């Protein structure tokens, strides 16, 4: 992965940013041929049923899942119209048709397998969404803050410290632990923490050893590594590049499991990259932001660095590592963040990072298409 900060856009960058080219409906097949680093470009369109409100039911989630959906109780009635507008939309890829979510088929597809989810709080949302989508298939499960986890839930105590690269005295924030099992022996696990630390990674993975080719590691980091930081300059971005090189070179490429790197979930705080958040710190007397904003390009560079490494550097040794292509569908959903539904507005800490369930559920629909219909190579 490149250690450059200021550079010209490469052909890969330009291709990733270019609008998709719609294929005529009559020529579209089903989405069953995802490549290793193939993006999934498309558009959100209204569902033909005016009463459609997504393919998950917020009232039918497991008891251990709470507070992840923009249809939750904290939403005020003033957002009802926006909620109906956003949750009526469905994502339509330009090149193919996504298989509709089918919980029973997904369970069948996962028979005897494990999905091990690791990463930051956006990965926590992916776990929560899967739990809601698979409610009828779940035998048992739990989801807790790491600090409240007991020794039967994790071998890693919350008090154990793991240091952040380049920041002496600053430890990685350990967020959540969760797990659920399905009736056919499949299991989904989550251990979320904001930033990568090799020792913490190894301690987490030790709980799942030995890995087999039937295991799936779903991983992503990035939210805690801003490329543009008013106070730290280039340091977080350089740490991201170094941490991810260590993760890929020293661990992921050597595993026998299937690895899915979840593409970046872009933010919509403002500006072309969606990452402009400094105004609150420098001009605190201004009115706070009340809606998340369109981002013309988004934070695409997290993905293109990973794609470049897989395509140009790692080669055949990384054939088992694929990108889960959810970046472009997320970039188009600026009003489907919790912040546009009021979270954080009174405190001027609007949340334009975490998406509502309609977007996260679609991430898992893409995961379903990738695991149960996609090719291996």
**Per-domain boundaries in the chain:** 40-372
If you write DSSP's letter for every residue of 44-93 in order, what string do you get? EEE-SSTT---SS-GGGS-TT--S--TTSTT--GGGHHHHHHHHHEEEEE
> Would you say 218 and 262 are in contact if contact means Cβ atoms under 8 Å apart?
yes
Q: Taking the chain (377 residues) in consecutive chunks of 10 residues, what is each chunk's mean pLDDT?
A: 62 90 84 86 96 86 82 70 93 94 96 97 95 96 96 95 92 96 96 96 98 97 84 85 97 97 95 74 66 92 96 94 97 94 80 94 96 68
pLDDT value, residue 193: 96
CB of 176 closer than 8 Å to CB of 124:
yes
**pTM over the 0.85 mark:** yes
| Model pLDDT, residue 207 | 97
Alpha-carbon distance of 166 to 172, in angstroms, equals 12
**What's the rounded Cα separation, in Å, for the pair 87 and 66?**
19
Q: Which CATH number fits domain 40-372: 3.40.50.300, 3.40.50.11540, 3.40.50.2300, 3.40.50.1110?
A: 3.40.50.1110
Rounded Cα distance, 219 and 37, in Å: 15
At a CB cut-off of 8 Å and minimum separation 6, what does 200 contact? 156, 162, 172, 174, 193
- Residue ranges of the alpha helices (H) in 179-318? 198-206, 235-250, 279-282, 301-308
């Amino acid at each position: 992965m490149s250690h450059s900060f200021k550079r010209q856009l490469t052909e890969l960058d330009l291709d990733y940013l270019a609008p998709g080219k719609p294929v005529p409906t009559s020529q579209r097949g089903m989405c069953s041929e995802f490549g290793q680093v193939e993006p999934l470009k498309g558009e959100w369109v209204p569902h033909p049923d005016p009463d459609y409100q997504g393919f998950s039911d917020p009232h039918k989630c497991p008891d251990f899942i709470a507070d992840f959906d923009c249809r939750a109780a904290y939403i005020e009635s003033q957002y009802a119209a926006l909620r109906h507008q956003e949750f009526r939309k469905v994502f339509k890829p330009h090149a193919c048709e996504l298989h509709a979510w089918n919980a029973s088929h997904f369970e069948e597809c996962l028979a005897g397998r494990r999905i091990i989810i690791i990463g930051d709080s956006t990965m926590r949302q992916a776990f929560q969404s899967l739990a809601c989508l698979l409610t009828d298939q779940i035998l048992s499960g739990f989801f807790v803050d790491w600090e409240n986890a007991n020794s039967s839930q994790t071998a890693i105590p919350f008090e154990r410290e793991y240091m952040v690269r380049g920041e002496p005295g600053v430890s990685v924030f350990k967020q959540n632990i969760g797990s659920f099992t399905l009736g056919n022996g499949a299991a989904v696990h989550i251990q979320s923490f904001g930033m990568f630390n090799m020792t913490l990674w190894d301690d987490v993975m030790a709980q799942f050893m030995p890995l087999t080719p039937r295991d799936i590691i779903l991983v992503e980091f990035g939210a805690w590594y801003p490329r543009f930081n008013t106070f730290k300059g280039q340091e977080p971005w350089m740490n991201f590049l170094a941490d991810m090189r260590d993760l890929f070179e020293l661990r992921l490429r050597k595993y026998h499991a299937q690895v899915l790197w979840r593409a970046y979930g872009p933010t919509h705080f403002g500006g072309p990259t969606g990452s402009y958040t400094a105004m609150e710190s420098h001009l605190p007397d201004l009115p706070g932001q009340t809606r998340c904003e369109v981002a013309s390009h988004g934070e695409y560079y997290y993905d293109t660095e990973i794609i470049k490494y897989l395509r140009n550097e790692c080669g055949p040794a990384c054939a088992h590592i694929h990108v889960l292509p959810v970046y472009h569908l997320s970039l188009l959903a600026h009003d489907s963040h919790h912040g546009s539904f009021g979270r954080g507005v009174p405190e001027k800490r609007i949340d334009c990072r975490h998406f509502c369930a309609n977007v996260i559920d679609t991430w898992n629909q893409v995961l379903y298409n990738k695991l149960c219909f996609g090719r291996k190579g």
